Amino acid sequence: MNSVKVGLLGLGTVGGGTVKVLSRNAHEIMRRAGRGIEVAHASARDLSKPRICDTTGITLTQNPFEVVNNPELQVIVELIGGTDQARELVLRAIANGKHVVTANKALIARHGNEIFAAARDKGVMVAFEAAVAGGIPVIKAIREGLAGNRIEWLAGIINGTGNFILTEMRDKGRDFADVLAEAQRLGYAEADPTFDVEGIDAAHKLTILASIAFGIPLQFDKAYTEGISRITRQDVGYAEELGYRIKHLGIARRTEEGIELRVHPTLIPHRRLIANVDGVMNAVLVKGDAVGPTLFYGAGAGAEPTASAVVADLVDVVRTLTSDPENRVPHLAFQPDALSDLPILPMEKVETAYYLRMQAQDRPGVLADVTRILADQNISIEAMLQKAPANGDGSVPVVILTHRIREQQMNEAIRRIEALGTMAGPVMRMRVEHLKG
């Protein structure tokens, strides 16, 4: 049987990795897919740039629309990134009756509802395994492997760059900016690295995970997002003293009132497996009612790990090219007419435990004021640390761990503590999750 001809948009980190893996493992891939997979046409901005892959035999162009309009291609792989042009290209490919594979989480999280509707109309597939957690096949696991479960919650380290930065800061005392520059050199970071650092990339991925876990439409605009740039080495040290690790987590939880959808730095007990996921590695913990907790672990970014997921999608597409579109696995795991309208909860309604760090004046009554405010808001303290003042400094760092409480009450408590007049600077707040199975 003839090879399936594929068009590739983008020959950067992931595009280059995809060409390499397709070529190196061509025989194994053919044995699995039943047909060869051949990249016939590819586009990049600068055709004179050196590439990590061999492009011999591939027709190259600077115009990605030439690729999506090429009638000889059956599948388009979008690895350019961004949302405007990528959306236009993907919709054009679909309109031309081509199947699409993409690693672009921003595109799926923001425009997935529109893209999947267009794909359904044309009876083509849009596969996006590489969009979440790099090489970990977590989309397939939730969508297919856990299809018998009612998913209760999931929590994941889903940005490799952020986890790499936190790990290097903790283990080697390296500077934030230094480690970020290294992540960029290694090809882990997004074109705009603030997406990694400020949690936007993780929120894109969490939006996708929540949709396939709970059967809800993609609602990126309702995700709560907080980045890692405010975490200090002090916080990392205090968390360790208290028996916790700080990880940048994406959390989606089904509650009676709606769905929690939030990305923020989180203290996790250090004995949890996920607390020990370091460097560029990602992990997603998924709790199903039947299976219990499951943990998916692997490289979250980088050329070949991501290519592994892109190529798996290509094999899936090739295997089902001739199948009836109605009998394919639905894009968002649930049948499109069975999506639920469960609301996404505003952050004020989320209930969690907290880590608070404040710089308080070292004199009688200050701590009593703080604990009174917490008690007024019905916030119960689990642990407290007070450190010795630095030489010549009249203030001391105070760290408090609380039991679970609604964010709204914690917001009010923090507002009142900051207004006391005995605090130097704002209160640093992080959420604490025990992630018990």
- Chain residues binding ligand NDP by CB under 6 A are 10-15, 43-46, 49, 64, 79-81, 85, 103-104, 130, 134, 187-188, 190-191, 301-302, 306
User: Residue 161, interface with ligand HSE (CB under 6 A)?
Assistant: yes
What is the amino acid identity at position 340? S
* 287 closest CA partner among 103, 406, 434: 434
User: Residue 15, interface with ligand HSE (CB under 6 A)?
Assistant: no
14 binds, among ligand NDP, ligand HSE, none (CB under 5 to 8 A by kind): ligand NDP
Of 28-36, 153-161, 227-235, 287-295: span binding ligand HSE (CB under 6 A): 153-161
In the complex, minimum distance from the CB of residue 301 to ligand NDP, in angstroms, rounded to a whole number: 3
Binding to ligand HSE in span 31-60, by CB under 6 A: none
How far from 86 is each of 102, 115, 282, 401, CA to CA, in Å?
10, 11, 25, 44
Nearest CB to ligand NDP, comparing residues 12 and 397: 12
250 binds, among ligand NDP, ligand HSE, none (CB under 5 to 8 A by kind): none
How far from 395 is each of 350, 356, 419, CA to CA, in Å?
32, 16, 16
- How, if at all, do strands 259-269 and 428-432 pair? parallel
Of 173-181, 186-194, 226-234, 419-427: span binding ligand HSE (CB under 6 A): 186-194
Backbone dihedral region for residue 54 (phi beyond 0: left; psi -120 to 50: alpha; all else: beta):
beta
Nearest CB to ligand HSE, comparing residues 227 and 288: 227
* 89 closest CA partner among 8, 195, 201: 8
User: Residue 281, interface with ligand HSE (CB under 6 A)?
Assistant: no
226 binds, among ligand NDP, ligand HSE, none (CB under 5 to 8 A by kind): none
In the annotation, is 205 catalytic?
yes
* Cβ contact 401:235 at 8 Å: no
Binding to ligand HSE in span 293-312, by CB under 6 A: 300-301
161 binds, among ligand HSE, ligand NDP, none (CB under 5 to 8 A by kind): ligand HSE
Binding-site size for ligand HSE (CB under 6 A) equals: 11
User: Residue 190, interface with ligand HSE (CB under 6 A)?
Assistant: yes
7 binds, among ligand NDP, ligand HSE, none (CB under 5 to 8 A by kind): none
352 binds, among ligand HSE, ligand NDP, none (CB under 5 to 8 A by kind): none
User: Residue 7, interface with ligand HSE (CB under 6 A)?
Assistant: no
Nearest CB to ligand HSE, comparing residues 246 and 358: 246
**Residue 352: partners with Cβ closer than 8 Å, 6 or more residues away:** 404, 405, 407, 431, 432, 433
User: Residue 198, interface with ligand HSE (CB under 6 A)?
Assistant: no
In the complex, minimum distance from the CB of residue 134 to ligand HSE, in angstroms, rounded to a whole number: 5
Report residue 170: phi and psi, to 5°: -75, -45
List 205, 222, 287, 349, catalytic entry: 205
User: Residue 225, interface with ligand HSE (CB under 6 A)?
Assistant: no
User: Residue 189, interface with ligand HSE (CB under 6 A)?
Assistant: yes
Nearest CB to ligand HSE, comparing residues 168 and 407: 168
Nearest CB to ligand NDP, comparing residues 80 and 239: 80
196 binds, among ligand NDP, ligand HSE, none (CB under 5 to 8 A by kind): ligand HSE
Nearest CB to ligand HSE, comparing residues 196 and 304: 196
User: Residue 159, interface with ligand HSE (CB under 6 A)?
Assistant: yes
* Cβ contact 240:399 at 8 Å: no
In the complex, minimum distance from the CB of residue 101 to ligand NDP, in angstroms, rounded to a whole number: 11
64 binds, among ligand HSE, ligand NDP, none (CB under 5 to 8 A by kind): ligand NDP
Contacting residue, 160, 199, 250, 298, with ligand HSE by CB under 6 A: 160
Distance CA 257, CA 345 (A): 7
| Residues of the shown chain interacting with ligand HSE in the complex, contacts defined by CB under 6 A | 134, 159-161, 188-190, 196, 201, 300-301
Catalytically annotated residues:
205
